[in-house]
Each structure stands twice: as structure tokens, then as C-alpha cells.
Amino acid sequence: MRASWQRLSLRARLLLIGVAGVATALAVGSVALYGVLTLASYRALDASAAATAHEVVDLVDQGRLPDPIPVTGSQIVQVVDSRDRVVSASVNADRLTALLLPGERRAALDGEHVVVPGSRVGESSPLRVVAAPAGPGGDPHTVLVAQQFDDVVQSQQILRLTLLATYPLLLAVLALIAWRVVGATLRPVEALRSSADLISGTDQDTRLPVPASSDEIHRLAVTLNSMLDRLAASRARQRSFVADAAHELRSPLASMQTQIEVHQRLEGPSWQMQELGEEVRRMTRLVEDLLVLARLDADARPAPSPDVVDVAAVAHEVAAAYDGRVPVTTSLPTGTPLLVRGTHDDLRRALGNLVDNAVRHARSGVSVTARPDGRRVVVEVSDDGAGIPVEDRERVFARFTRLDEGRARDAGGSGLGLAIVRELVRREGGDVELHESAAGGLRARMVLRPPDAGPARRA
């Protein structure tokens, strides 16, 4: 029950709470109204009967009791002596039998409201009887005044039907009004949510809309915008630090690489210099990757590149650069270029990172294929290495992520290659995914967007 309640929207929960409160209030109010009107009707009926009874009591006390007793309306009047004999009565009353039995008469004299069947006087509806003592103490009499109350019963029935009919209709109208009012009240919150959903980690100047009202939502928007300002400043400092550190590291790394090459030419190659040179090259690649990420993060909302690149030519260029222990084969279309949106450097870096990753972990070979696929161009890099488990194929796109098996730090990776590939490809409207290759290794599938209709220049 609690889980179902929490799955409802805030608007729905507020509506249910409000409607439940209104329904309870209406129900209590309807019951109170019904009770008050019923009590007022019976009190008016009893007051009229009591007034008639007091008039007849005065006539009895004065010894001027007429026979028949004149009455107005549908009242029935009897004057009964101490031996339950009818002394006088109205024309519509029974002159032989008293309306009330002795026990009922005593209860009526004690102030209770006695209801008797109308069949005692030949009526179809019940009678409500009021009793009053009369006469001297030595010869007590009782004045009985009875009235039919079917009009009151009918009024009660009409009131019940009216309340039952209008209750759900009124509740539905109030629920509709509450739905609109709650929706209008929460509209600024929805505007804040939708605007916050559009803010990505690279946005710099996007801020949440601040409503014109001076309520809690206004203060919330101001607070969130202040938080975004602090986050933007923190991201700017972080990017500046990364870029500055990478720039500062490039010069000493280049100097170290030059000194290693000079030493190897003068002193001859040695395994110590080879290992040191490899570490320097790996650090240089890491610095270059950091610079690329800093450049990508600096673009708050990068627009697609206006350039057009032949991805088949880039793939051939990347594959030709490898002549190491693992051969890199290509399956590319000839004669017709595969044009995609992007820059040559970015596409070469993205494809080069995928091939680097495949070469480091392949056992016997790496294949690069490119083909058109409908309105898209698909480039795939496959290897026959250890592969990546399905549950980790999305996690490896995070920065500085390396798996424990087969793709560790000593394999030469920095954990930034796949993150750079995804950033570069997605900024041009494409995407990259990882699947299992036919040889059981890893197959990186890069989907690129062809040039749209419009001005573009050949890169």
C-alpha cells in the first residue's frame, strides 16, 4: 500500500488528500444538516401540538370544555379522565377508546414523545402524541393531542435523496477544481524539473527559471541556481587545473623523450631505456587524452562539425599505422567514399583509440570494417581477445575505468580511451556500443551520422 502510494505523482497525492478531506467534511456536514432539519421539524410539530394541548387544558380548568373540541388542521384531540374514558374529543377522534394506553399515557405525561399506529383512529400513517395534565386534583384529566407526521417523513426522504444525489456530483466538481488548482500550483515545479533535466554536466550558463511569485518555489529556484553557479565555478576550476597541468607536463615529457632517444643513439639501445621510453610515451598519451577531455568539457553545447570526412580513408590510415605483433586487417568499400559528419582529427582519434584498445588485448588479429547502414554509417573494430562481460560494457565508458581481467593498467591503457571515443562520436550525433565479436572477443560498433542536407565543406 505504501509503495503504491509513493508511486503516485505529487499532484495525485495532493488531490487524493484534498478530496478525502472534502469528502469527510461533506459527509459530516450532510449528516449534521439532516439531523438539524429533522430535529427542527419534529420540534415545530411538537410545539404546535403542545400549544393546542395548553389551550384545551385551559378550557378544562375553566369548566368550559366544548364537545366536540374545535381543532385546526389534521390534529386529533381527546380529553381522557382518570378511568381512561373519553370525556370530549374532536370530530376526527375516537370517542370510545383513548389514543394512548395507560403506560403510554404516563410516558407522554413524563415528557416523552409517543408514536402510535394510525390504525387506532382509522388512519394509515402513524401519529405523534403529546399529553398534558388538566383538571382539579380530585378529578384529573389528560389532554391528548395527536398529529400525523408523514409530511415530515416525506421531507426527510427527499432530503436524503437530494444529499445522496448531490454528494458525488459535488465531490467530482470539487475534485476537478482541485486538480486544476494543484496543477497550476505545481506548474513552476514542473518547469524547474524539466529545465533541470536539460542541464548536462558540461552546461555552463543554463539556469533554472525563477517564478515571479515570492513563495517557497521562488526561493527553491534561487537556491538551486546558486548551487549551479557554485558547481559551474568548481567545474571551471577543475577543467582549468587539468588543462594547465597537462600543458605543463607536455614540455618535460617531450624533453625526456628526446633525451632517451639521444641516449639510445649515443650509447646504444638498452632494456632500461626502452622501458623508460615506453613509460614516457604512455604518460604522453595520458596527457594528450586529458587535454582532449578538457577541450570537450569546455564546449558547453557543442554544435555538430560542418566538416565531412571519408571514414573509409580514415580507417585505412589508422590501420596502416600498425605494424606490430598483431596484424590489423580492413574490410572497407572501394571506389565510393563513406562520408560522415565530423573532423578528421576527432574521427582519427576516436577510431585510433578503438584500434589501440583492440590491439592491446587481441591474441592473433584485429579487423576494421566500415559499411553504410541505411541512413547511417557503421564502423566496427573487432578483436579475438578476452572480451568484456555484458554487465561491464557500459561501465568501461566512464573515465579512468579499467577492468581487473585482461584490461589492466599494465596493458598500457589509461581508462580514458573509450570515454574520449564516446564524447567525440556523440557530439557529432552518433554513438558507440560494445558487443561480443565472432571470435569471442570484443566488437566496438561505432554508428556515425552522414552529412545532412545543407552547407558543408569537405575535410
Count of the separate structural domains present in the chain: 3
* Residue 412 pLDDT > 60: no
Residue 407 cell numbers, joined: 584490461
* Residue 302 pLDDT > 70: no
User: Do 93 and 57 fall into the same domain?
Assistant: yes
For residue 201, name the pLDDT band (cuts at 50, 70, 90). Answer: low
CATH of residue 144: 3.30.450.20
Long-range contacts of 247-253 (CB under 8 A, 24+ apart): 247/291, 249/283, 249/287, 250/284, 250/287, 253/280, 253/283, 253/284, 253/287
Q: Does residue 141 or residue 193 have the better pLDDT?
A: 141
**Helix axes 150-198 and 216-267, enclosed angle (nearest 10):** 30
User: Do 395 and 254 fall into the same domain?
Assistant: no
Mean pLDDT of the chain: 82
> Residues 150-192: pLDDT tens digits?
888 888 899 889 988 888 898 899 889 988 888 888 888 888 8
User: Do 127 and 267 fall into the same domain?
Assistant: no
User: Do 260 and 380 fall into the same domain?
Assistant: no
Q: Does residue 384 or residue 238 have the better pLDDT?
A: 384
* Residue 459 pLDDT > 80: no
User: Do 403 and 281 fall into the same domain?
Assistant: no
| 174 lies in some domain | no
* 343 exposure class (CB count in 10 Å sphere: 0-12, 13-18, 19+): middle
| 187 lies in some domain | no
User: Do 59 and 144 fall into the same domain?
Assistant: yes
* Residue 378 confidence (pLDDT): 93
| 184 lies in some domain | no
* Residue 264 pLDDT > 90: no
Which of residues 108, 134, 153 is at a domain's end?
153
| 169 lies in some domain | no
| 168 lies in some domain | no
* Residue 407 confidence (pLDDT): 45
For the chain, percent of residues with pLDDT exceeding 90: 9
* Residue 106 confidence (pLDDT): 87
> Residues 211-252: pLDDT tens digits?
887 778 888 888 888 888 888 787 777 777 767 777 777 778
* Residue 305 pLDDT > 80: no
- 208-212, 252-256, 410-414: segment of lowest average pLDDT: 410-414
Which of residues 134, 153, 172 is at a domain's end?
153
Amino acid, single-letter form, for residue 69: I
User: Do 262 and 238 fall into the same domain?
Assistant: yes
Mean pLDDT of 63-89: 85
- 114-128, 298-312, 415-429: segment of lowest average pLDDT: 298-312
Count Cβ neighbours within 10 Å for each residue of 109-144 and write b for 16 or more, e otherwise: eeeeebebebebbebeebbbbbbbebbeeeeebbbb
Mean pLDDT of 351-380: 89
**Phi-psi category of residue 100: left, alpha or beta, with phi > 0 → left and psi -120 to 50 → alpha:** beta
* Residue 457 pLDDT > 60: no
**H-state helical runs in 63-149:** 102-109
User: Do 281 and 370 fall into the same domain?
Assistant: no
User: Do 290 and 382 fall into the same domain?
Assistant: no
Mean pLDDT of 128-136: 87
Contacts of residue 264, defined as CB under 8 A and 6 or more positions apart, other chains included, come to: 270, 273, 277
User: What are the C-alpha distances in Å from 396 to residues 195, 265, 276?
Assistant: 29, 40, 28
* Residue 41 pLDDT > 70: yes
User: Do 321 and 406 fall into the same domain?
Assistant: yes
Residue 325 cell numbers, joined: 605483433
* Residue 90 pLDDT > 50: yes
**H-state helical runs in 199-309:** 216-267, 271-298
What is the dihedral sign for C-alpha 299, 302, 307, 309? positive
* Residue 441 pLDDT > 60: yes
For the entire predicted model, the pTM comes to 0.51
| 381 lies in some domain | yes
User: Do 39 and 77 fall into the same domain?
Assistant: yes
* Residue 458 pLDDT > 50: no
β-pair partners for 433: 445
Structural domain boundaries, residue 374: 307-458
Which of residues 248, 263, 298 is at a domain's end?
298
| 1 lies in some domain | no
User: Do 23 and 119 fall into the same domain?
Assistant: yes
Mean pLDDT of 121-135: 85
* Residue 413 confidence (pLDDT): 61
CATH of residue 421: 3.30.565.10
| 446 lies in some domain | yes
